[in-house]
Amino acid sequence: MYLQITSRCNFHCAHCGMSCTKKGEDMSITTFRNALKYDGMLTIGGGEPTLHPLFWQILMEAIAHSEESLWMATNGSQTEIALALANLAKKGVLGVALSLDVFHDPIDCKVVEAFTKSLNHPSSYNTSTDYREIRNVSGHLIKAGRCKDGEEGCICSSLFVKPNGDVKGCGCKNAPLFGNVNKGFEIPYMFEDGECTIDRRKNKKIAA
């Protein structure tokens, strides 16, 4: 399940299918806790999740709750938070990816260094528990809005919870709405997490 804890972002990357801006909505702690009742792999996302005013509370509760893998991505713009996240990921507490490519604004080089695994001293970290990652989106794979409506690839092929608690079948803008974590939601019988619901609907495998 992907939890969009905020729809705010301080960057405006051409390749991002979220189309977030500096003005957006933050998920309430009640909505977040209701979303946690769903078991499974959890992704903390945005926007830029570290901009949420209760980011650390949300992250700590997610870590305490998660029995399966927990993952998030950051643009690294909040230097001190990004450094702390790199340290947690290095220890295997959760997976953290630093988005670093030509579409992102420059960030503090200390953050890049913190997310870079040493090749000269491989014994300095345990590869089985070091969950740091640097995501570099290749320019030739990008077209602005490539993820819209599932036409050229789903932005998130998992249950997608918006800041207001709405649960959608995936991250596509016209993905089916399954309900709301605060009011109740029902997942269709044929739904399979990890697949774009738009693609499945086109193939008549899942109801709209």
Residue 103 has pLDDT above 90, yes or no: no
On whether the CB atoms of residues 96 and 89 are closer than 8 A, the answer is yes
Query: What's the rounded mean pLDDT across residues 146-173?
Result: 76
Q: Residue 97 — pLDDT band, cuts 50, 70, 90?
A: very high
In-domain check, residue 142: yes
- Comparison of pLDDT for 159 and 105, the residue scoring more: 159
Strongest mean pLDDT among 17-26, 120-129, 133-142, 194-203: 17-26
In-domain check, residue 84: yes
Q: Residue 138 — pLDDT band, cuts 50, 70, 90?
A: low
Residue 101 has pLDDT above 90, yes or no: no
> Radius of gyration of the chain from Cα atoms?
17
Query: What's the rounded mean pLDDT across residues 147-170?
Result: 76
Half-sphere exposure of 13 (CA within 13 A, CB side): 24
Task: Map residue 151 onto helix, strand or coil.
Answer: coil
In-domain check, residue 199: no
In-domain check, residue 72: yes
How many structural domains are present in the chain? Answer: 1
In-domain check, residue 165: no
Which spans in the chain are helix H? Answer: 29-35, 55-65, 79-90, 109-115, 197-202
Nearest by Cα to 172 from 130, 200, 133:
200
At 39 the pLDDT is 78
Sequence-distant (≥ 6) Cβ neighbours of residue 175 within 8 angstroms: 150, 160, 168, 169, 196, 197, 198
Percent of the chain past pLDDT 70, that is, above it, reads 80
In-domain check, residue 200: no
Residue 90 has pLDDT above 90, yes or no: yes
pLDDT in tens, 59-74: 999 999 987 789 999 9
In-domain check, residue 204: no
Residue 144 has pLDDT above 50, yes or no: no
**Predicted TM-score of the model (pTM):** 0.83
In-domain check, residue 177: no
Locate 85 and state its tokens.
């996240």
Backbone phi and psi for residue 152, each to the nearest 5 degrees, phi listed first: -130, 30
Q: Residue 118 — pLDDT band, cuts 50, 70, 90?
A: low
Domain, as residue range, for 106 = 2-146
| Rounded to 5°, angle at Cα 10 from 37 and 58 | 20
